[in-house]
Amino acid sequence: MAVAVAGCGGGGSGAPLTKEELITRGDAVCTKYRKKNQELSKSAPAKAPTDPSATDQQVKASAPLLRELADNLRAARGEFEKLDPPVDTKSDWENTLDDLDQIAAKLDDAAGAAEEVDRQKVVNLYADIFRLNRRVTSFETDYGFKVCGAGG
């Protein structure tokens, strides 16, 4: 159930943020949503919906949590979108926001598959989610974020 809610963001009006400002503001957003997701994980079933030994009930029980993770990710993404990154980072920033949109959509799809106990679809969607999340995390860690992109 641990899907990192990552991403980063700028000021909305005026000059673009400096790299340091983007990191500080982005990490604040990541901290906020990491806490929400850690709280959410406390109500997760004992086994992930991708675990072959998970019961049908455990798979179904993961659906609302996956939807809430998607909602949290969309909310974080909305905050990141308000951030105006440095000009030389704009393209990577936009790509990261697009990846976050895709992750949120796939979390919703995984929730639907979990409700239907379509285990293979859940596994396939998780693979897509983790691939996208690795790309987001790579940008964040390479850029210098301290919270965004960090495990935990």
14-39 pLDDT per residue, tens:
789 999 999 999 999 999 999 999 99
Give the dihedral of Cα atoms 110, 114, 116, 117; nearest 10 deg.
Answer: 130
Q: Which residue has the tokens 């850690």?
A: 38
More confident residue, 13 or 76: 76
Q: What's the pLDDT tens digit per position in 58-108?
A: 999 999 999 999 999 999 999 999 999 999 999 999 999 999 999 999 999
| Distance in Å from the first CA to the final CA of the chain | 12
Query: Helix 19-41 vs helix 119-143: angle between axes, to the nearest 10 degrees?
Result: 150
Whole-model pTM: value is: 0.89
152: pLDDT confidence band, cut at 50, 70 and 90? Answer: low
